[in-house]
């Protein structure tokens, strides 16, 4: 079983959405977790836009990187430059990918503008997880 770890700065939205999609798309083929360099709490907009796709992440919670899980992972995916740059050193045998996605929590404007930013990032993550599923099955 492939172990995948999704990391971002605060484990509030991008990595949480990636965890949700990965659990749905990759299913029993992988062990999935997400974490952050810091804990910023689960963003309610991430929960809302994932629910629009039929994925409930409301029971997920913000957590910091678990060094043991990190070092036993087969693939580490960073979803922002901060996580990539501040991620603890891992053995070279662990595959690393960087998906540079804008932080939707930084969107400025009314609620509709902010939700649009979350939906855009959600859709990018869904596409990348789908591509990852194809690669992992080959």
Report yes or no: 31 and 2 within 8 Å, Cβ to Cβ: yes
Catalytic residue chosen out of the listed positions 8, 13, 30, 39: 8
Catalytic residue chosen out of the listed positions 13, 30, 39, 87: 87
**Cα–Cα distance for residue pair 63/79, rounded to 1 Å:** 15
What is the longest distance spanned by two Cα atoms in the chain?
45
In the numeric block, the tokens 């591509």 are attached to: 131
How much is the pTM?
0.95
State phi, psi for 6 to the nearest 5 degrees: -100, 125
Which tens digit of pLDDT belongs to each residue from 27-61?
888 999 999 999 999 999 999 999 999 999 999 99
Instruction: Tell me, yes or no, if 30 is annotated catalytic.
Output: no
Instruction: Tell me, yes or no, if 8 is annotated catalytic.
Output: yes
**Cα–Cα distance for residue pair 28/71, rounded to 1 Å:** 21
**Cα–Cα distance for residue pair 108/36, rounded to 1 Å:** 23
């Amino acid at each position: 079983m492939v172990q995948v770890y999704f990391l971002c700065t605060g484990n509030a939205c991008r990595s949480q959405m990636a965890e949700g999609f990965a659990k749905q798309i990759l299913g029993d083929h992988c062990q999935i977790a997400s974490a952050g360099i810091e804990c910023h709490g689960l963003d309610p907009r991430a929960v809302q836009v994932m629910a629009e796709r039929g994925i409930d992440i409301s029971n997920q919670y913000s957590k910091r990187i678990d060094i043991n899980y990190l070092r036993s992972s087969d693939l580490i995916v960073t979803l922002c430059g901060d996580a990539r740059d501040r991620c603890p050193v891992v053995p070279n045998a662990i595959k690393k990918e960087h998906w540079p996605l804008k932080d939707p929590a930084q969107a400025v404007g009314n609620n509709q503008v902010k939700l649009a930013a979350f939906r855009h990032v959600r859709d990018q993550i869904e596409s990348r997880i789908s591509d990852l599923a194809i690669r992992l099955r080959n």
